[in-house]
Each structure stands twice: as structure tokens, then as C-alpha cells.
Amino acid sequence: MKPNTDKEEKYLLDVRAISVFYEAIQATWDVWFTVREGSVTALVGSNGAGKTAIMKSISGILPTSEGSILFMDQVLDRLAPHERVERGISLVPEGRKVFPYLTVQENLEIGAYSRKARKRLNQTMAEIFELFPPLAARRKQLGVSLSGGEQQMLAIGRGLMSMPSLLMLDEPSLGLAPIMVKLVFEIIEKINAEGVTILLVEQNVRQTLQHAETAYVLETGRIKLKGKGSELLENPHIKKAYLGL
Amino acid sequence: MELTRILQILSAGLIIGGIYALIAVGLNLIYGTMRLLNIAHGELIMLGAYVTYWLYTLYGVSPLISMILVSAFSALIGLIVCWSIFLPIIKTSKSAAVLESNSLLIFFGLSVIFSNLASLLWTADIRGYSYMTKVFYILGVPLMHNRLLAFLVAVVVCILSYLLLQKTMLGKAIRALIQDREASQLVGINARFIYIFSFCLGFAMAGLAGCLLSMFYEITPFMGLPYTIVAFIVIVLGGLGNIFGSLMGGFLLGLLETIGVSLTSPGLRPILSYSIFILIILVRPKGIFGRGVY
Ligand SMILES: Nc1ncnc2c1ncn2[C@@H]1O[C@H](COP(=O)(O)OP(=O)(O)OP(=O)(O)O)[C@@H](O)[C@H]1O
Ligand SMILES: [Mg+2]
């Protein structure tokens, strides 16, 4: 894929030709993509395609050895993960990574660790409890004692506590029952309607493409396709490789 | 056994247990956050004891004031060591295993350097001083003022550190980092800052323990090692990374040791502690409190 030549568009996130390594192992090559402000943008691909590697490098957990990442027109490359959170990037990681021995409430509080979020901690937490009523009922329970679906809610809630302008979700529907998957996608729409830009990574290709404004297809560490979600649903290669048609 | 004797043993156990808790919480903070085992922990205790001793005998500084001075001094050593050695090697270590072995060697080196430096500067003579040696009686049990003071200070500091971990945002960040390093960075915690803070706090607690111990135990350049071992036993007893477990474990080991010694002989103290250690490893390798309490 070549760089986006349309200079008029405003991008919240602009990923330019990044290569990401896990120590010596290269996970992605020359990845380009952009996320329009206010959109739901998706990154789909099969196991091992490099989706998580890209999420981790945007949030600063993995270094980008080549290329550059721009957020709100500023280069992120040298910033530590906590500085990126402060700028407004939040990742709900693959596997949820809820703090097992903090209570639900503590998990949310710690989500608002960044300076700007801490000031509005109580208001944001009330909003999260409104969005996820089951969490409110379990606020004193330890993270480890929650069900998979509840942990996913908590992970999303924790990610929102930092008041991000970009919320990235790495396979939020993984391992959930169909009814929970549906709920997760509804929640994502709700959050997006509140003005939060979404970057969604999924293997659940059909539902993701139905919800995404723009989607990128990642194959073995490289961007293979880009298009509107609805267009990609009709793409013969996607149909064959990802939708089993 | 008569009641006063039982009370005497219990009070002795609680006093030493409070100090064990202080030492072990310090060690476990550093282990929990950075996954580094500070083998030089006992040498910080030794340095704290010497500083208190010299300030008292040379300048007449009251050990009460030294508690604060020594804690600050030890925290400063922690800051220097963390900043100049450990942050760089954390950054350059290719893997956790490399970091672990390198840091063990470095801590071992530090412990050798500190104890030899102390014996060069101050000779290997056994030192000690008398401070608050008045005896008073609670329920017929004779207690020296300095021991009661040490007990109270240790308990207060342990409670404060527990409150810090439970109630403050900084404390929650420390616990979050202990539980999941990557997730803690994703919520905006500055891991480097937490490393430095835990390192300094852990060192300060060790130094303070040395200050307290100096009021009633002998001071030598090589007094540190037994305390390092005690701290290791306690953090295994209470669960690695489980700060609350270390608090309880310190008191528990102090009591068990004192009761065991009173039933047998003082020479058996190390054997008793090691037996407890081996028993725990065999029966409950995750510690008696497991991981679930903190
Ligand atoms: N910790 C690691 N060390 C070395 N290589 C890794 C590590 N984690 C992932 N990889 C490799 O990097 C490549 C990309 O992995 P990544 O986890 O980003 O894929 P993914 O698209 O998220 O897959 P999945 O859908 O299974 O989560 C894979 O080839 C994988 O084997
Ligand atoms: Mg992944």
C-alpha cells in the first residue's frame, strides 16, 4: 500500500511506514494507514498478521524501528507509553489484562492515572458505571473474580477512564459468547457516538467490516487492502479468505 | 510455663517481628515492582546502624533524629544506585533472564563493597551504645524503652506503608505495576518513576531498621547478611510481590523464631528459620497468603 495522497483530510492518527520488531523478530513491514477523527477504523487480519504488534507500537510498548507515527500532527516516536496516554491514546489490550488483585473500582481509578484524567475521575467513573451496569454491582470484587465478558467490560471501562481521543481495542470480542460479542460492538458504537475515535483490531471480520467506516487488511505484516467497510464486504478476496464464502 | 514468661516471649517475638516486617516489606517492594532481588539489603541495615552510632557517639545526635536522617540517607543511596546502575541495565538487558542474573551479581557486588568498606573505615570491632535503656514493666513483663520504641516505630511505618499502598493513587500504581507491568504502562503509569520510588522507599526502610536495631544490638560490618536471609524467608513466607503478606510474615517469623528459641536454645535460631523456609516452600510455594491478598 502506498501513502495516502489526499492531503485535504484531517487525520487523528497517521501511521507512516512502520516496521515493528519483537526483539530480533520482525512482525510488520512498511505499514501505512490513517485514522480519521471521529471514525471507527478497523484493522483486520488472521493470526500472526501483526495486528497486536502495531497496537503495541502505537501505544509505545514496542519500539518502532523504522517509520513514524503521528498523532494530532505530532510525532510520537520518542514518547514513553505514559506520555502517549497523556496525549489521548488508550489501548484496551489483547487478553484484557485487567489487574487481577485490584477491585473493579480500583481498576477504573488506576485507569485515570494520567494528570488530566484524574481531575474528572469521579464523573468519568459514574459514566462508565452507567455504560456497564454489571460493573457497578461488582465494584468491590477483585478483577480476577470476574467472568470473561465482565473483564472485557472492565478493560474497556479502564481504557475510557483516561478520557482518550483515540481508543484502540485489540480483539475485544475474542472468547466471548455471541450475545456478548453483539454487546461489545454496540458499546463501541455508543462510545464512538460520544466523539471518541476508534481503532478496532479484530479477527471477527464480518461484524467488524459492518461497523467500520474504513478498514485495512493486514497480511503477514503488510497492509494488503484498504477500503470502506461495506466495500470490503463485497471484495472477492475478503469473501474467500476471511468470510468463508 | 508461667504467664509472665509467656508474655515475655510473645513481646520479644513481636518486637523482632516488627523489625523483620519493616525489612521484608522494603525488600518485597523492590522485588515486586522491578523483579530484582536485593542481596545487599542487609548491608543497608548495617550502614543505617553505623550512621546512627557515629552520629550519636561523635556528635550526640539522638537516635530519634537519626531515624529521619538515616532514612533520608538510605533513600539517597537508593536513588543513586537505581539511577546510575539499575535503570541503565533494565534498558539494555535483552531479556528478563539476563537482567535477573546481572542484577544478582551487581547486588552481590554492592553487598561485598559496602561491608568491606565499612570494615576498612571503621574496623571490624563490635560497636554499640546505650540509649533509652530504662526498664519498665507491662503486666509484670520487663521491657526496655528502646525496644518498645523500635517496636512502635516499626509498626507505625508498616501501617503507613500499607495505607500508602491501599489508599493513594501512587500506592495503587505500585500494586498495578506489580500485577501487570505492561497494563500499568497502558493506563499511563510512568514505570521508571515507580521503580525509583520503590527502590528509594525499600532502601529507606532497610536503613531505618538498621537505626532501630543499633539501639539494642551489636553493630559490625558483617551484621547485614542474617537480615538479608531473614527478609528472603519472610517474603517467601508472605508471598513474592505480596506486600501485605510480608507485613504479616515478618511478625509471624519473629514470633515463631522467638518461641522456638525459648523452647530450645538461641544457637538454633538460624536452623529454625531455615526449617520454616523449607517447610513453606514444600507446602505452600506461593506463600501462606498466596497472591490474593494485596
Ligand atoms: N513476544 C514475541 N516474541 C517474538 N515474536 C512474537 C512475539 N509476539 C508475537 N510474535 C510474532 O510476531 C508476529 C505478529 O504477531 P502479533 O501478535 O502482532 O499478531 P496478531 O495479528 O496480533 O495475531 P493474533 O490475531 O493471533 O493476535 C507473529 O509472527 C508472531 O509469531
Ligand atoms: Mg493479536
Task: Report pLDDT for B291.
Answer: 59
Q: Report d(CA A119, CA A114) in Å as an integer.
A: 9
Residue-wise pLDDT for B16-61, tens only, equals 999 999 999 999 999 989 889 999 999 999 999 999 999 999 999 9
Q: Which residues of A touch B240 (CB under 8 A)?
A: none
Residue A41 CA to ligand 1 centre (angstroms): 21
Residues B44 and B181 sit within 8 Å (Cβ to Cβ): no
Q: Which residues of A touch B169 (CB under 8 A)?
A: 109-110, 113, 118
Q: Is A81 on the interface with B (CB under 8 A)?
A: yes
**A175 CB under 6 A from ligand 1?**
no
In 3-state terms, what secondary structure has residue A196? coil
Residue-wise pLDDT for A11-44, tens only, equals 999 999 999 999 889 999 999 999 999 999 999 9
Beta strands in chain A (DSSP E): 11-22, 25-36, 40-44, 64-71, 74-75, 89-92, 166-170, 197-202, 214-219, 222-228
Task: Report pLDDT for B293.
Answer: 46
CATH superfamily of A1-88+202-245: P-loop containing nucleotide triphosphate hydrolases (3.40.50.300)
Task: Report pLDDT for A7.
Answer: 54
Task: Report pLDDT for B284.
Answer: 83
Is a pLDDT exceeding 80 seen at residue A196? yes
Q: Which of A20, A25, A91 to mutate to test the pocket of ligand 1 (most atoms within 8 A of CB)?
A: A25
B244 closest CA partner among B178, B189, B153: B178
Q: Over range A38-60, report the average pLDDT.
A: 96
- Indicate the residue of B172, B185, B188 with minimum beta-carbon distance to A102: B172
Q: What is the ipTM of this complex?
A: 0.93
Q: How far is CA A71 from CA A42, A128, A192, in A?
A: 17, 25, 18
Q: Report d(CA A101, CA B45) in Å as an integer.
A: 31
Residue A69 CA to ligand 1 centre (angstroms): 20
At B223, give phi and psi (nearest 5°). Answer: -75, -15
Q: What angle do CA A79, A80, A85 make, to 5 degrees?
A: 95
Mean confidence (pLDDT) of chain A = 93
Q: Report d(CA B202, CA B28) in Å as an integer.
A: 8
Q: Over range A108-130, report the average pLDDT.
A: 96
Q: Report d(CA A170, CA A95) in Å as an integer.
A: 8
Q: Which residues of B touch A113 (CB under 8 A)?
A: 169, 173, 187-189
**A49 CB under 6 A from ligand 1?**
yes
Q: Is B92 on the interface with A (CB under 8 A)?
A: no
- Indicate the residue of A93, A101, A113 with minimum beta-carbon distance to B179: A101
Mean confidence (pLDDT) of chain B = 92
**A52 CB under 6 A from ligand 1?**
yes
Residue A199 CA to ligand 2 centre (angstroms): 14
- Nearest ligand to the CA atom of B182: 1
Is a pLDDT exceeding 90 seen at residue B292? no
Is a pLDDT exceeding 70 seen at residue A1? no
**A24 CB under 6 A from ligand 1?**
no
Q: How many residue pairs from chains A and B have C-beta atoms closer than 8 A? A: 77
**A48 CB under 6 A from ligand 1?**
yes
At B134, give phi and psi (nearest 5°). Answer: -60, 140
Interchain proximity B182–A162, CB inside 8 Å: no
Residue-wise pLDDT for B216-268, tens only, equals 999 999 999 999 999 999 999 998 888 889 999 999 999 999 999 988 888 88
Q: Report d(CA B50, CA B44) in Å as an integer.
A: 10
For B290, the closest chain A residue by CA position comes to A101
Interchain proximity A101–B180, CB inside 8 Å: no
- Indicate the residue of B179, B187, B292 with minimum beta-carbon distance to A111: B187
Q: Report d(CA A179, CA A175) in Å as an integer.
A: 12
Residue-wise pLDDT for B165-185, tens only, equals 999 999 999 999 999 999 999
Q: Report d(CA B40, CA B37) in Å as an integer.
A: 9
* DSSP one-letter string for B235-270: HHHH-TT-HHHHHHHHHHHHHHHHHHHHHS-GGGHH
Q: Is B91 on the interface with A (CB under 8 A)?
A: no
Residue type, B275: S
Interchain proximity A90–B192, CB inside 8 Å: no
User: Domain segments of chain B: what residues?
Assistant: 30-222
User: Domain segments of chain A: what residues?
Assistant: 1-88+202-245
Residue type, B89: I
Residue B190 CA to ligand 1 centre (angstroms): 25
Give the distance from residue B225's alpha carbon to the nearest chain A alpha carbon, in angstroms: 33
Q: Is B230 on the interface with A (CB under 8 A)?
A: no
* CB-based contacts of B120, cutoff 8 Å, min separation 6: none
Residues B107 and B39 sit within 8 Å (Cβ to Cβ): yes
Give the distance from residue A167's alpha carbon to the nearest chain B alpha carbon, in angstroms: 12
| Ramachandran region, residue B155 (left: φ > 0; alpha: ψ -120 to 50; beta: rest) | alpha
Ligand 1 atom having least distance to the Cα of A203? 25
**A203 CB under 6 A from ligand 1?**
yes
Hunting for cell 574496623 — which residue is that? B123
Tell me the CA end-to-end span of chain B in Å, nearest whole number.
38
Residue A211 CA to ligand 1 centre (angstroms): 25
Q: Report d(CA B232, CA B92) in Å as an integer.
A: 27
Residues A167, A170, A176, A179, CA torsion sign: positive
